[in-house]
Amino acid sequence: MPLKVAPGQALSAFRSVYAGDKDELRQFIEAHFCAAGSDLMRAPLPKDWTPEFPQRVDADHVELMAAIHAMWPKLLRVSRDDFPERRTLIARRFPFVVPGGRFREGYYWDSYWIVKGLLRSGLKETARGIVRNFLDDVRNFGYVPNGNRTYYAGRSQPPLLAEMVSLLDDDALTAEAAPLIEIELSWWSGRRASAIKGLARYGSDMSEPRPESYLEDVATAARAFTPNPEADLRSILKERTEAGATIYGEIRAAAESGWDFSSRWLKGDGLETIRTRDVVPVDLNAFLYKAERRLAAFYARLGQQDDAARFAEKARTRRDLMNATFWDPARKRWRDVLKDGTYASLGPSLSDYAPLWAAIGPPDGDVDGLIENLAATGLVRAFGVQATCTTTGEQWDAPNAWPPLVDMLVEGLLGLDHDGAAQLARSIGTAWLASVKAGFEASGAFFEKYDADARGKRGAGGEYEPQDGFGWTLGAAAAMVGRFHCASDVARAPSRRSPPWRASPLPRRRASRRPSGFARGRRALRPHCPASYRLVARRRRLRTRRRGIRRGAARQHRSRRRRCGSRRASGGPRPCTVRAAPAARPAAARAPVPSRRAWRSPRRRCAAASRPRRTTPRPRVTGSQRNNPPRDTCARFAVQCCAALRCHTACTSRAAGRAGSAARGGRGTPGPPRQPPHGCAASAHASATKKGRMAAAESTARTVALHPLAIVGVSDHFTRVSVGGSRQGAGSPVVGLLFGMQRGLEVDVVDAIEVHLTEATKVDAQFLEQSKALYTEVYEDRDLVGWYAVAPAPTANHLALHEEFVKYNESPLFLLMDPQPQQDAKDLPIQVYETEVHDLKTVFATVPFQLETTQTERVAMEAVAQTGCTDRELMLDTHVASLDTSLKTLAARVRALRDYLAAVRAGTVAADHSLLRKLGALCDRLPSLKSDGAFEEAFLRDYNDALATAFLATATKNAAAVNDLSDKFVLVNARGSKLV
């Protein structure tokens, strides 16, 4: 729960709260804390998301995959970046998917199956963002925390980062991730080394209750401690503290495993007998083995053969050690061992078969024996596989079937390339998927875990209620459908947001001929432009309406002919319509059946009557142009079509109706065209053109995030031109380039640099190319997104100049800054435009924008606003100077208020009672006005708190430095021993 106030203020208020009074405590929480999960926001619709599921599945699983596909936007979150000190959230650069239910943040090993599901749904950019968030974690922590909360620091989860990078199959991402994955693996090898050299175990860097389950951990520690009745109180307290620290460390280690909690970690019957750190687990070392193999492949792909050979050797060494330590030849499976080398438990567990997922086969090559043993263990049930065969009431025991474990086992069995293994894998996968499908059909939800003995039933057990959502269930189910239910007779899956004509499976003939990517004709808009779906739906409704009208008219005409006795005597086929007579024939003698053009809908009649008749053949569109239009062109076309249709229909409906009536041979003649209403784009264009300016209409679904450095760049350019500090002469036009990132309809404008003009409407192309090349060489993730100018309003010259920038960006933005804003204006004197076509004329249309800053930009802006340090100055001097400036500013404002009050008292200034009430309320809140010493006491308390915080921060920093030095020592020592 994020804080509403600063941490120090909340702590000061908490000191006066009596913890035994629940009502007082509840009031304190409501006054100082926000709702749980309010530090995250639901992310906007991903740019790579389409309403239709992009893959093809069999008809029985169309609805299931459509529901899975529709769940991803609901679980997508972004971090809030305001007041980070009030939250426990570790901020993310990119949107991420939360599991759902009570889990309101991202989790490490959950995300592996989430990424698999996102890729099945075609959301590759979203999946790449999730992986890059984890790469940021490795940069910041040296490992990936359990989840993106500060209280998850100190423990991780099964290392699956290398697998996520492998799923994306991106060369640039691989080059970025390879050294970071090596850092993560060294953390696991160093911090989580077990008593058996070369193998790892789960652990934790802290020995205290988990903040997310504080009461449960304290209760478990209390059950684990039995005091000695003969010991004194001091000894009892010491033993209790030590026992509690041990239990807390074991619980945290189990949470790091992901199996929290299971009989795998228990020595007895209850959770108080947990001993996670004494167990050397099979699955963790399988994860590390596969990660080392992936890293060796990454380095080989990048051409670093020495590093590739080094990690390939590490993987072989770990595999041999795993087979020698974990393999039980009598039971034909791998088993967890204790630190003394003995087997941890007799009962089977799905973790025993994790090496299959890591592509490690049985050491003796007896695949048949392994499969027979697996079938005989009791793990395989009617609707999946249960985690263990032991029923303890913990959630990672019988009878729960967990999606990640089912997916890992099925993938491992399929990798054996054995008919019996493949048959068993298909049986397990389809049975579990049938349970998922039944649960969804019954409840409309996807569960965190399922009962392996009951179809469609939630799992049970554990320290919290079963959750719905659920991220890894969606990913595992999508992967299972991809393995076993992608038959040849397939259908495109409809989603809940799909248009109604896509809700039923496609006929096989259409499905086999349908091209991938952009489709033909009007469907070229559909894969990437959500706005175009409404346009396509409207067209289909109009076609259906016209078809019904034509059929009804034909039926009426046939009935009329029968009544008039005009049926042909020959008995031949009767025509559906009557052809119109030649032009010389009188209108009254024509057949009463309207033509096809006449039966158009009202909107189509409006457009048909107002536009000129085409006299030239339509331009031929080549296959490459038809099937692969640029995304920007596609989006701009959809937006322009929608806007132009709204404007044109509103402006010309009555005139077009009269024109359509005349075209159909009705009475009356078309009158003069109706003038567009006030405020319409066409009217604005006509009136503004008379004044020599181009109009600005309201616009589109496109959104712009404007960063402060871009505004500073435009302002700096204008200032330099005004004072003669620019290479261009004073009074020359202020024009420049905008750089940033563009993702579909969302644009981030990050920076601005000036550009030269050769004429009033001509850009110096050579200078522009050089500036663009230099900038993009430094900032590879940015590109030219538009241009800027300084003027009171857009003009015709700006429109002509805008066409120059279309050569470099198909849909450039135009940022216009007003150099002379009104004094009482509260908004920035900035407008952002793009071009649209209204009544066959190009006009500027406004685009909404919002200010957005990153942490780096905030630091940079603060550095720009403050005076920098010289070589002889210290940072403390600058800090004190800034505080001095702030105090002087505050004193000046207080002085102004005092002078105002004195003037009001003297009667020289009229009293503003609203302002006086605000001043009175402010004075009442100032503790310094009180004379009972409360201010001094509060000040000293806050001062001591600040000193304690500084001391703890210093100690934490030094501890982190020691840990870093220890990691480097372990790494250097390990490499040195390898060289020797």
Residues 662-713 pLDDT 10s: 333 333 333 343 333 333 333 333 343 333 334 444 445 678 999 888 888 8
CA distances from 904 to 433, 835, 911, 916 (A): 78, 54, 6, 10
Q: Is 846 strand, coil or helix?
A: strand
Compute the Cα dihedral for 130, 135, 138, 140 and give only its sign.
Answer: negative
Contact between 736 and 717 (Cβ < 8 Å): yes
Tens digits of per-residue pLDDT, 763-809? 888 888 888 888 888 778 888 999 999 998 898 888 888 888 888 88
> What residues act catalytically?
260, 448
- DSSP codes joined into one string, 851-883: E---HHHHHHHHHHHSPPP-TT--HHHHHHHHH
Strands (E), 20-121: 40-42, 56-58, 76-79, 96-97
pLDDT at residue 631 tops 50: no
Which of these, 408, 398, 520, lies nearest to 459 by C-alpha position? 398
Which of these, 10, 145, 147, lies nearest to 2 by C-alpha position? 10
More confident residue, 490 or 640: 640
Q: Enumerate residues 6+ apart whose C-beta is below 8 A from 473.
A: 403, 436, 446, 447, 448
- Which of the four pLDDT bands, split at 50, 70 and 90, describes residue 323? very high
More confident residue, 497 or 437: 437
The CA-to-CA distance between both ends of the chain, in Å, stands at 53
Average pLDDT value for residue range 926-936: 58
The pLDDT of residue 539: 65
- Which of the four pLDDT bands, split at 50, 70 and 90, describes residue 75? very high
pLDDT at residue 388 tops 90: yes
The pLDDT of residue 8: 84
The pLDDT of residue 118: 95
pLDDT at residue 79 tops 50: yes
- Which of the four pLDDT bands, split at 50, 70 and 90, describes residue 599? very low
Edge-to-edge order in the sheet of strand 735-743: 696-697, 841-846, 830-838, 813-817, 783-790, 735-743, 746-754, 703-706, 849-851
Taking the C-alpha atoms of residue 840 and residue 681, their distance in angstroms, rounded to an integer, is 12
Contact between 478 and 68 (Cβ < 8 Å): yes
What are the beta bridge partners of residue 458? 450
Contact between 780 and 793 (Cβ < 8 Å): no
Summary mean pLDDT of the chain: 77
The pLDDT of residue 877: 63
- Which of the four pLDDT bands, split at 50, 70 and 90, describes residue 549? low
pLDDT at residue 505 tops 80: no
Lowest mean pLDDT among 143-152, 416-425, 651-660: 651-660
The pLDDT of residue 439: 94
Q: Is 193 strand, coil or helix?
A: strand
Radius of gyration of the CA atoms of the chain, in A? 36
Tens digits of per-residue pLDDT, 852-890? 877 656 655 555 555 444 444 455 566 667 777 878 888
Q: Containing H/E element for 817?
A: strand 813-817
What are the beta bridge partners of residue 833? 814, 846
Tracing tokens 């053949």 back to the chain, one arrives at: 617
Average pLDDT value for residue range 645-662: 39
Lowest mean pLDDT among 218-222, 624-628, 894-898: 624-628
Which of these, 479, 468, 460, lies nearest to 407 by C-alpha position? 479
Lowest mean pLDDT among 160-164, 200-204, 523-527: 523-527
Q: Containing H/E element for 836?
A: strand 830-838
Structure tokens belonging to residue 192: 């989580």
- DSSP codes joined into one string, 935-978: HHHHHHHHHHHHHHHHHHHHHHHHHHHHHHHHHHHHHHHHHHHH
The pLDDT of residue 767: 86
Q: What percent of the chain has pLDDT over 90?
A: 38
Contact between 328 and 334 (Cβ < 8 Å): yes
More confident residue, 223 or 939: 223
